[in-house]
């Protein structure tokens, strides 16, 4: 995931796209090791690809609508994820929970900072999806 400053609409959308890319890669690589959660991991990998595509489309569609005022209060270190292929099912599950918590927190926090309706709704939905994933992984 690239390091970005989360102080503009574009930076937030780029970070979200990178986040989904990282989540997708993690779930795809960890699925064979996820034991009872392997099917969920495969589903989440596929959904991350779709979420990434949706975010890309939202960014492109809303460039002309966005207000170019600076955004503050989002520290990239609170949300960035780094995950390598886990050693076993327990590590895969633990890492997945951590990643889903960070993603949910990012989408919730960023949604409150955006002043464009479509991205706000998308971020709300994605945060809820991350919370739903956490419930399944618990």
Q: What is the pLDDT of residues 10-25, one digit of tens each?
A: 889 999 999 999 999 9
Confirm whether pTM is higher than 0.85.
yes
Q: Structural domain of residue 43, as residue ranges?
A: 9-137
Rounded distance between C-alpha atoms, residue 134 and residue 137, angstroms: 5
Q: Which of 48, 31, 28 is nearest to 39 (CA)?
A: 31
Cβ neighbors of 102 (< 8 A, separation 6 or more) are 78, 79, 80, 81
Say if 112 falls within a structural domain. yes
The average pLDDT across 102-121 equals 92
Say if 3 falls within a structural domain. no
- Contact indicator for 19, 1 with CB cutoff of 8 Å: yes
**Of 4-8, 39-43, 44-48, 80-84, the least confident:** 4-8
Cα angle, residue 39 at apex, residues 108 and 41 outer, rounded to 5°:
35
Say if 106 falls within a structural domain. yes
């Amino acid at each position: 995931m690239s390091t970005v400053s989360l102080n503009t609409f574009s930076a937030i959308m780029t970070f979200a796209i990178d986040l989904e890319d990282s989540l997708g890669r993690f779930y795809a690589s960890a699925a064979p090791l996820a034991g009872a959660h392997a099917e969920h991991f495969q589903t989440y990998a596929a959904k991350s690809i779709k979420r990434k595509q949706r975010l890309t489309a939202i960014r492109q569609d809303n460039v002309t609508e966005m207000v170019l005022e600076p955004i503050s209060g989002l520290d990239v270190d609170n949300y960035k994820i780094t995950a390598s292929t886990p050693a076993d099912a327990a590590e895969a599950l633990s890492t997945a929970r951590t990643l889903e918590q960070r993603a949910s927190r990012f989408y919730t926090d960023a949604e409150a900072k955006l002043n464009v309706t479509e991205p706000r709704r998308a971020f709300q939905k994605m945060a809820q999806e991350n919370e739903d994933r956490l419930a399944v992984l618990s």
